[in-house]
Amino acid sequence: MIRIFPSLRLTSLLSAAKPLCSSSPAKKPPQYTSLTESKSSRPTKSLSITPKTPLYLRTPSHATSLSEVWKWHDWAKDLASSVEESSKNSEDTLDSVILHRELKWLIEDSIVDDPLVILHRSEIADNGEKNVKLRASLEELYDLWRQRIEKRRPFQYVVGCEHWRDLVLCVEEGVLIPRPETELIVDMVEELVTRDEWFKKDIWADLGTGSGAIAIGIAKVLGSRGRVIATDLSPVAIAVAGHNVQRYSLEGMIEVREGSWFEPLKDLEGKLVGLVSNPPYIPSDDIPGLQAEVGRHEPKLALDGGIDGTDSLFHLCHGASRMLQPGGFFVFETNGEKQSKMIVDYMMTSDLKDCFSDLKIVSDFAGINRFVTGFRL
Amino acid sequence: MLSLIIRRSRSRFIIHGIKISCNSLSAVDSSSSVLVSRRTFSSTPALSYFGFNYGKISNLNQRFGNYAYSGSSFASSTRSLSSEAVAVAATCDGLTVERIIANQWPILDENEGDWKSHAAAIAQSIQVIKRRLQWKKLLVRLKVLSAELNKSDLWDDPTHAGKISREHGSLTGKMKGVMTFERELLEHIDMLKLAKEENDSELESETLKALIDMRRVSKEKELEALLSADNDPCSCYIEVQAGAGGTESNDWAAMVMEMYKTWAQRRKFSVTVVDEAPGEIAGIKRATIKVNGEYAYGYAKAEVGVHRLVRISPFDSGKRRHTSFAAVAVIPILGDGSTRVEINDSDLRIERFRSGGAGGQHANTTDSAVRIVHIPTGITATCQNERSQHSNKASAMAVLQSRLDQLEMARQTAMNAQHTQSLTEISWGNQIRTYVLHPYRMVKDLRTNYEVSDPDSVLEGDLDGFILSFLSSSLDKDDPEH
Ligand SMILES: C[S@@+](CC[C@H](N)C(=O)[O-])C[C@H]1O[C@@H](n2cnc3c(N)ncnc32)[C@H](O)[C@@H]1O
């Protein structure tokens, strides 16, 4: 088993990868170990990590008078409006329109009553004496909003969840907040499996699953017979992904395994019908200049893709040739134009050149060449 | 003649008391009449009264059915209501619905008004309902149908005969419904006068209460008559676009949007903001809200056009008077039953809205707005207020679908009715209403001349007066008799 670390150079990757392609056992009939069995036999460090409860699921144990909440809301609005002046000359700024929307969502997540009692105060006959039930104390709400604006803590960490596709996923520090672009991976899989039922029959894998977003999205489009293995190296990610899988009652379909890339999938060589991944792909040199929410708060392990950002991607290409059964599909997310082209060129010219067909670059809604897709020959 | 007051408990009638009253309660015929206390029929099943079925516009149908029951089963059973001779209902002293309207009794608030005010309100509703039914035409048609039915060779062609008798049945039902309602009104008036004469205060207050109930029911029925077009029951999108003039107009557009939001909330419709382009300094350049609820489109379509504001600008340090414009469009959200335009995926271009930078792992944002362009028509839709890109896309898709449906509707009917106009088609010359905050205070609808002297209440969503007067005036337009 070859393990590639993000720091490993491209050249070593190339030479190390050669035997992998030819060694893929293609003709074995699909035969997999029971998902639950392998799960129980694999003790993980992450068991001890308890994921945080997102704000909107907490018990509403804080009765607070409306007038106090209004006061907080006024303060929060003012703070949101003031950001643009205070950060005019820097490039990485907050946008007050977006902040106002986030504030509305923060209220929706924290209040049991209709959020309109706060947002449309003018229509409330009440003079503010009425109590409302909150899921966080007012003190905490002050603190959370300050963290959002002053510490640039991502909104999704503030409320402990991210709305992604039709899912609400728990997220917390240590786990990457799934990006809107990545939703398209599930769209592509959905399109594929609706066109060809064959892809519903065998196991899919989502490598570097983070919050479990892609794995859960795929399990849902696969339907009741679907099976997905989700892996990650980060114990926090494993715990959070497991928790999200549980929240959507998909334990029977998704198995979360801890370990580096293909290492936890040794039992599945040549058996996967689909392989997806959004691996870390940001070039190391870009990490210090990242947007504050990302650079200061999200895990480096989820972002840093080595010198030109492609360390994990190249590793995944080789793994794909080894793990996929003939006809199997893969999609990887990349940093854009340059990386996607590098990956496709590599797959067409290197020792992998006879491994894949229909290699394609697919762009995201911003028009950036975001994904590379293809099929195992 | 005997008039019995009957009280009903569960399914049994108990004779409660006997009263002697005048011999000829009604001028329609001389047969005896049974008066039924209103509240006694609270458990009767609802009947469709006027024969037009508008779906469930309100919970008042149940109450209305009570009238139908008391009317048709008691009062009308004793009368000849053939379509040949349509007698005009009148009170003992010859008061008819038409006379009530001609009297022009002032219509006061429900709890301030005397019986005349209630009667006038009910009569007015009856008139709207008749207009909606195209009353005179309906009577002529009934005559024709009755003549056909009397032909001896009618059943030689059973399909034709079936059609004729069905239509006859349905029109008769509608006619009877209105007439029974009219008679009910007049009987209440008779009873009220009688109660006054005899100083029977219990009977008087009971009858007055029945009249008020009837007034509420007739108002609802009137509304149903006004909202009977194909798509009226649909939910809808309301779109507001600021006219030229920057901040001034943007602020006005935001006020107009606020007016609709509160109006919709008061009507218990749910409101969601789908798309909003804020102005640079204040207000909005454009916004779309989704208004969910029965008959949202039927009401809101009355608002399509340009709204004009005259005021001293809060943004002008010179305190000068400014005129601003905002255009309003309303799009019905067709139900699953209706045929909708089929959209080819390949005709769509989906774009991230307000994107920039490297995206992907580089960016953390809660902004996942998308814009969908329908390439063949150039129609676009944007949604930015959902929490995931997937949901923004779905919402934008729904807006796009409704826009394309509306375009198709306008094309098919070829009549380019004003309320099917999209924002881009509405000409800035097409002003429908003026709001003046200075030098005097007034809101006036230029289509109906309906006028209110308190702009604040209107801007706070009190729009129903404008909407209803417009709807009933458009009823006249459709009816050649007017
Ligand atoms: C960009 S994040 C993607 C997370 C998630 N799939 C998503 O799209 O939101 C990359 C993920 O890869 C994981 N990762 C990094 N190195 C890894 C390795 N050697 N083996 C497995 N997972 C790894 C990180 O912990 C992180 O969760």
Cα of A232 vs centre of ligand 1, distance in Å, is: 6
With an 8 Å Cβ cutoff, are A154 and B364 in contact?
Answer: yes
* Mean pLDDT along residues A199-220: 97
Q: Give the neighbor-by-neighbor strand order of the sheet with B348-352.
A: B348-352, B370-374, B379-383
Which chain A residue lies closest to B389 (C-alpha atoms)?
A: A180
**Alpha-carbon gap, residue A252 to A246, rounded angstroms:** 9
Q: B278: which chain A residues are within 8 Å (Cβ-Cβ)?
A: 97
By CB neighbour count within 10 A (0-12 exposed, 13-18 middle, 19+ buried), where does B36 fall? buried
Percent share of chain B, pLDDT over 70:
78
- Report which residue type is found at A24: S
Subunit contact B360:A368, Cβ cutoff 8 A: yes
In one-letter notation, the amino acid at residue B47 is L
Question: A175 alpha carbon to ligand 1 midpoint, in Å?
Answer: 9
Angle between helices B115-133 and B135-150 (to 10 degrees): 60
3-state secondary structure (DSSP) of residue B268 = coil
How close A151 gets to chain B, by Cα (Å)? 14
Kindly indicate the confidence band of residue B6, based on its pLDDT and cuts at 50, 70 and 90: very low
Only one residue has tokens 């604006």, namely A149
Distance of CA B41 to the CA centre of its chain: 27
Residue A1 in domain? no
Q: Which of B285, B295, B286, B252 is nearest to B434 (CA)?
A: B252
CA-nearest residue to B385 within chain A is A101
Out of A102, A165, A364, the one facing B390 most closely (by C-beta) is: A165
- Contact predicate B211/B115, CB 8 Å: yes
Are the C-beta atoms of residues A228 and A257 closer than 8 Å to each other?
A: no
Are A131 and A177 in a shared domain?
Answer: no
The token pair that represents A105 in the structure block:
């969502």
Give the range of the structural domain holding residue A312, as residue numbers without chain letter.
163-376
CA atoms of A361 and A370, how far apart (whole Å):
7
* Cβ proximity of A346 and A339 under 8 Å: no
Full DSSP string of A140-170: HHHHHHHHHHHS---HHHHHTEEEETTEEEE
Indicate if A114 and A135 belong to the same structural domain.
yes
pLDDT at B245: 84
Pairing of strands B270-278, B284-292: antiparallel
Nearest to B191 by CA among B40, B37, B335: B37
CB B280 within 8 A of CB B247: yes
Q: Does residue A329 belong to any structural domain of this protein? A: yes
Structure tokens at A25: 């056992």
How far apart, in Å, are the Cα atoms of A214 and each of A165, A228, A245, B114, B382? 10, 10, 11, 69, 25
Record the tokens describing residue B232, joined without a space: 């009226």
Residue A323 is assigned to a structural domain of this protein: yes
Whether the upstream peptide bond of residue A25 has omega within 30° of 0, thus cis, is: no
Q: Is B111 helix (H, G, I), strand (E, B) or coil?
A: coil
CA A100 to chain centre: 25
Q: A63-67, A83-87, A338-342, B44-48 — which is least confidently predicted?
A: B44-48
Q: What 8-state DSSP symbol labels residue A282? A: B
Which alpha helices (DSSP H) does chain A contain, by range?
A: 10-22, 35-40, 66-86, 96-110, 116-119, 138-150, 155-159, 183-195, 213-222, 235-247, 292-297, 311-323, 337-349
ipTM, interface predicted TM-score of the complex: 0.86
**At residue B176, does pLDDT exceed 70?**
yes
**Chain B residues touching residue A176 (CB < 8 angstroms):** 361
- Judgement on whether residues A358 and A228 belong to the same structural domain of the protein: yes
Same domain, residue pair A323 and A350: yes
CA-closest candidate to residue B391, choices B374, B405, B370: B370
Residues A190 and A303 in one domain: yes
**Are residues A137 and A170 both part of a single domain?**
no
Q: pLDDT at residue A86 above 70?
A: no
Provide the CATH number for the domain around residue A224: 3.40.50.150
Residue B177 in tokens: 């419904």
Token readout for B121 is 């309100």
Taking every pair of C-alpha atoms in chain B, what is the biggest distance, in angstroms?
A: 91
Which among B192, B185, B214 is positioned nearest to B89, based on CA atoms?
A: B185
> Which of A151, A182, A205 is a domain's end point?
A151
Query: Residue B437: CB partners within 8 Å, gap ≥ 6?
Result: B309, B310, B311, B312, B455
pLDDT at residue number A90: 65
Burial class (CB in 10 A: 0-12, 13-18, 19+), A354: exposed
Domains of chain B in start order, with CATH, are 2-226 (1.20.58.410), 230-356+365-439 (3.30.70.1660)
Measured between CA atoms, the residue of chain B closest to residue A186 is: B390
Task: Give the predicted TM-score (pTM) of the model.
Answer: 0.77
Cα A326 to chain centroid distance, Å, stands at: 28
| CB-CB neighbors (< 8 A) of A311 in chain B | none
Question: Which residues, in sequence order, are CB contacts of B396 under 8 Å at separation 6+?
Answer: B274, B275, B370, B371, B372, B381, B382, B383
> Inter-chain contact B361–A364, Cβ cutoff 8 Å?
no
List CB contacts of A122: < 8 A, sequence separation 6 or more. Answer: none
Ligand 1: which of A170, A233, A318 to mutate, judged by most atoms within 8 Å of the beta carbon? A233
**A111: which DSSP letter?**
B
Q: Do residue A206 and residue A307 come from a single domain? A: yes
Q: Is the domain of A173 the same as that of A79? A: no
Domain membership flag for residue A24: no
Q: What is the pLDDT of residue A134?
A: 95
Please give the structure tokens belonging to residue B480: 């050649």
Query: Is residue A134 assigned to a domain?
Result: yes
Per residue in B79-129, pLDDT tens?
Answer: 334 444 457 788 888 898 889 988 888 888 777 778 888 999 999 899 888
Minimum Cα–Cα distance from B356: chain A residue: A366
Please check whether residue A211 lies inside any domain of the structure. Answer: yes
More confident residue, B413 or B38: B413
Q: Are B309 and B437 in contact (CB under 8 A)?
A: yes
Report how many helices (DSSP H) and strands (DSSP E) chain B contains, helices first.
11, 13
- Residue A336: DSSP 8-state: S
Neighbours of A78 (CB within 10 A): 9
Nearest-Cα distance to chain A for B375, in Å, is 16
- Choose, out of B281, B348, B361, B382, the residue to mutate when testing the contact with A (most A CBs < 10 Å): B361
User: B391 to chain A: which residues are within 8 Å by CB?
Assistant: 163, 165-166
DSSP 8-state code for residue A233: S
| Domain co-membership, A202 together with A94 | no
Residue A330's nearest CA partner among A364, A358, A354 is A358
Measure CA of the first residue to CA of the last residue in chain A; give whole Å: 23
CB A156 within 8 A of CB A180: no
Rounded CA-CA distance B33/B55 in Å is 33
b/e burial code for range A109-138 (CB count within 10 A of at least 16 → b): bbbeeebebbeebeeeeeeeeeebebbbeb
Q: How many CB pairs under 8 A join A and B?
A: 95
Q: What is the CA radius of gyration of chain A?
A: 23
Matching residue, tokens 């040199």: A285
Let me know whether A282 and A360 are in one domain.
yes
For residue B393 the two structure tokens come to 């896309």
Supply the pLDDT for residue A276: 98
Which SS3 state, helix, strand or coil, does residue B58 take?
coil
Total domains in the fold of chain A: 2
In the sheet where B235-242 sits, what is the strand order?
B270-278, B284-292, B235-242, B321-333, B305-312, B431-436, B442-445, B451-452
A151, A177, A205 — which closes off a domain? A151
Indicate which residue's Cα is closest to atom 4 of ligand 1. A210
More confident residue, A224 or B347: B347
The region of weakest confidence among A149-163, A356-370, B21-35, B84-98 is: B21-35
Closest partner residue to B370 among A177, A179, A365, by Cβ?
A: A365
Band of pLDDT at residue B20, cut at 50, 70 and 90: very low
- Can you give the pLDDT at residue B479? 52
| DSSP secondary structure letter of residue B71 | I
DSSP state of A248: T
pLDDT tens per residue, range A150-198: 999 999 999 999 999 999 999 999 999 999 999 999 999 999 999 999 9
Q: What three-state secondary structure class fits B427?
A: coil
Q: A15 to chain B nearest CA, in Å?
A: 29
Q: Which of A154, A183, A291 sits opposite B389 (nearest CB)?
A: A183
Residues with CB under 6 A from ligand 1: A 176, 178, 182, 207-211, 213-214, 231-234, 237, 260-261, 278-280, 301-302; B 361
For residue A196, the CA-to-ligand 1 centroid distance in Å is 28
- Reading the block at residue A315, the tokens are 């590793």
Mean pLDDT across chain A: 87
Residues A130 and A182 in one domain: no
Q: How confident is the model at residue A230 (pLDDT cuts 50, 70, 90)?
A: very high
Of B363, B367, B370, nearest to A98 by CB-CB distance is B367
Domain-embedded: residue A50: no
Q: Which of A124, A151, A178 is the last residue of a domain?
A: A151
pLDDT recorded at residue B417: 56
- Atom 2 in ligand 1: which residue has the minimum CA distance? A302
Per mean pLDDT, which range of A118-122, B56-60, B345-349 is the poorest?
B56-60
Instruction: Find out whether A144 and A240 touch, Cβ atoms under 8 Å.
Output: no
B 379-418 residues inside an 8 A Cβ radius of A: 385-391
Q: For residue range A232-254, list pLDDT tens digits in order.
A: 999 999 999 999 999 999 999 99
Residues in chain A: 377
Residue A21 maps to a domain: no
Please judge whether A163 and B363 are an interchain contact, meaning their C-beta atoms are less than 8 angstroms apart: no
- Closest-CA residue of B relative to A299 is B361
* One domain for residues A182 and A256: yes
